[in-house]
Structures are given as C-alpha cells and as structure tokens.
Amino acid sequence: MSNSPLTPGVVPGRLPADVLAGNFTDHEPPLDGHEARVAADRCYFCHDAPCITACPTSIDIPLFIRQIATGTPDAAARTILSQNILGGMCARVCPTETLCEEACVREAAEGKPVEIGRLQRFATDTLMAKGVHPFARAAATGKRVAVVGAGPAGLACAHRLAMKGHDVVMFDARPKAGGLNEYGIAQYKAVGDFAQDEVDWLLQIGGITVKTRMALGRDVSLAQLQAEYDAVFLGMGLAGVNALRAPGEERVNVRNAVDFIAELRQAKDKSMLPVGRDVVVIGGGMTAVDAAVQSKLLGAENVTIVYRRDQAKMSASGYEQEHATSAGVRIICNAAPVAVHGNGAVAEVEFAYTAEGPDGLKTTGETFRLKADQLYKAIGQTLTGAPEGIALTGGKIAVTGAGRTSVAGIWAGGDCASGGDDLTVTAVAEGRDAAEDIHAALMAART
C-alpha cells in the first residue's frame, strides 16, 4: 500500500524490521515442562470446582491440571479437547481473567489464580507438536451435513459431527478456514501460522471437506443446502460493521478496525504496513484494544481509544485495558464522535462529552478534538445477508435449545446467533452442542 499525497503522515516502516519482529512475538510465552508442573501444583483440585462452571465449554479443569502435575500432559490435552476442540487457540485468546481464573479459589484467597490458560496451552501444544489427533470417527452414518462458516463455531460443529460418523462439507467466504481465529485477533496473541496449524490438526479426524471462497447467498443458496444435505449449521459470524453516523466518516484513512486486524494478520512483511503518527480508535471492546495496541507496535506515536460510556462498561476486560495502557495507549471515556474533519483525509476527530442520565446516554454539549491521521471504527459488527425465511432477534439468528432455528433442519451458533457473548470459547461450545443436537435428530429420523 503506497503512501498517498493525501496521507503524508501514514507510511510503512516506522520501525526497523528487527524491532517489529520483536513487537509481534508471543505476548504470553509458553510454559516449559518444569514451569507447568510448578504452576499445576498450585491447584487445590477442588471437588466442586468453580472454574469448571465459569468455563463456557465446561472443561474439567482440576482433572487436566492434575494430569499435568502427574506428568501426563497428553492425557490433560485429551481432557481439554474432548470439551473444546479448539483448546489451543482458546488458551491463547480466552479472557481467562474474567472466566475460569476469576472464579479460581486461589484468586479469591490470594489475588493470584492458578494459571489455567497457560497450563491449557502447555497441554494442547504438547500434544499437537506430536502431530497426534486423539479422536477417531465412529462408523459412517450415511448422513451429510453442511456447515456454513469455518470459524470457531463451524469448526467445533464439524469436528463433533465427523466424530459421530457423519460426512461434513464446510463452506466459508474467505480464502482460508479459521474465521476470527485466522482473521480477527491480535497477531501477538497467536503468532505465526498457529490458527491454520490448528485447523489442519482438527481436520485429521477425517470426514470433513472445506470449500473456501464460497459465500452463502452468493455462491451457494440455503435452498441448495437444504436440498442436498440432511442438516445445515449456520456459523458464518458477523460480516457487517456498524457505522459512526458522523459527518466525514467517508474520509481517507477512516477504516473498520476488523479490516486492519485481518490485513495485519495476513501480512508477510509488517514493515510494509502503513501506520500514522496519531491513531484514534473508537470503541470499547477487544477489537478496539487489539487495533490500538497493534498500531502502537507498528510504530504509531500517539494512539487513543475513545469510548462513549464509562470505563467500567467497556466490554474489553480490565486485563486487556491494562495491557493497552501499558503499551502506551491512552483511553478516553464518556465521549462520542460527532464529526471527522480533514481535507480529503482524516486530520482530526471531534468528540462530544457524554453523561448517563435517566433517559440514557446524552451528550453534554461540550466538545473536543483529537489529532488523527488514522481512525479505526470498532463499534460492533452486524449480521449481513441473513438467510431468507429464518427468524431473527436483535439482528441475529434466533435460536432455541442447542442452536435450533425457526426452520426445521437448520441450526445456528457463534456470533451470528442470538444468546452468545462474542467469545471464541462460547462459539466453540455452541457449535459443539448444536452438533450433538443435530446428531440426535438425524439418528432419531433413522428409527
């Protein structure tokens, strides 16, 4: 991407290649064998472990930690993967600080939980490094299931269905499988080609065919899938991005944060990625933090996250917020964008201060401006191209039970379905549970 005359401050190569390489190494380095056993020894192995309840995939955490402590990490990995087939990625990207580790008894007693996420990574990485896939397919059922979307929900659904003996065909609009794991998370959380390595490892189960560059509604219709397959699972995520609805939003270098993150993850040479001196990110979630921190890692001098509500209401965890500020990112809260200024390209962003009242969020009338040569929007994503005839609720596919939609024979899960919380681990749980329900329905139909 070349530097435009309109954007003199947005250039590639702000940092030397060796510095960039160091900036995008593992944010949380893996434990070695000795460190893992020491960390495992801190677990109380609670009988009524609150960490299990806090895990959306209900992994038996005390069991897998005991297996690490007794020198059997492969068994620990199987315990994890039997509940969460994407346990390797979830160990890297899960907000464990607000899930299992927040519920840990050690956290309540000492303010320092057992390092469940890092222990999970140790176990799953140990097994995957051996090229071992611990599960086998059941006898073939003769049933075929279409899975739309090869992200966390779709992959978890496909793997569980394949284990049950069904044949699965996955359709994904992008060039690679993996969904948000491949395109939507910070590079420093899952370095190298881990997302693709995990997909390749998962597919070792057999019985799964992946068809990329195949979008629902463009390359294949829902009616076709219903006619050709015994069941359909929709897990295509959220492809749309909410608009700022502020004048000047169309200016050069105003971009969706998810596009920037995807571009960065696919870049072979990060020194070729243009970055501004003054970057502003609008939003309060993980995507906003990932975009802001990575802008700083690329060499931006001033990076600011602006969120319209109080900081306590940011969906990014306290841990993520602290990580952002420690990387040099400034966070401004209670401010909403009202205009994007500049001559062709963004030069400043104007904000109005906000206040919560009995009638909801209101602007106070007081405004300020931030200098910006790049502006990223991270204000939520929306479902686009919703399949005709399927009921929606809150802009997502309405589901009941284990992902059943309003149309018989069609299930849904992950970010595109109602009821989730936009986490990888939740998407995995929904895909897995839908697969179990699909299997039960298909087997009942045979009798």
273 and 357 inside one domain:
yes
Q: What is the CATH number of the domain that holds 295?
A: 3.50.50.60
Chain segment 89-99, per-residue pLDDT in tens: 999 999 999 99
The whole-model pTM stands at 0.95
Domain of residue 174 covers: 144-239+383-446
* Chosen domain end from 377, 398, 432: 377
306 and 338 inside one domain:
yes
Chain segment 43-87, per-residue pLDDT in tens: 999 989 999 999 999 999 999 999 999 999 999 999 999 999 999
Q: Tell me which of 270 and 2 has the higher pLDDT.
A: 270
220 and 283 inside one domain:
no
Residue 48, phi then psi, degrees to nearest 5: -105, 55
pLDDT at 45: 95
pLDDT at 7: 58
Residue 88, pLDDT above cutoff 60: yes
Residue 330, pLDDT above cutoff 60: yes
Token representation of residue 346 = 């963004």
* Chosen domain end from 129, 156, 188: 129
Q: Residue 330: helix, strand or coil by DSSP?
A: strand
How crowded is residue 53: how many other Cβ atoms within 10 Å of its Cβ?
12
Listed in order, strand segments (DSSP E) in 177-234 are 208-211, 231-234
The chain-wide mean pLDDT, for the chain, equals 95
Residue 5, in any domain of the structure? no
Residue 27, in any domain of the structure? no
385 confidence band (pLDDT: 50, 70, 90)? confident
181 confidence band (pLDDT: 50, 70, 90)? very high
Q: What is the CATH number of the domain that holds 70?
A: 1.10.1060.10
65 and 117 inside one domain:
yes
- Contact criterion met (CB below 8 Å) for 3 and 261: no
Nearest CA to 210 out of 168, 165, 179 is that of 168
Residue 86, in any domain of the structure? yes
48 and 159 inside one domain:
no
pLDDT at 1: 42
Q: What is the dihedral of CA 40, 45, 48, 52, to 10 degrees?
A: 20
299 and 373 inside one domain:
yes
179 and 302 inside one domain:
no
Distance of CA 133 to CAs 165, 261, 381, 439, Å?
16, 30, 34, 22
pLDDT at 28: 85
Chain segment 200-214, per-residue pLDDT in tens: 999 999 999 999 999
* Chosen domain end from 129, 161, 196: 129
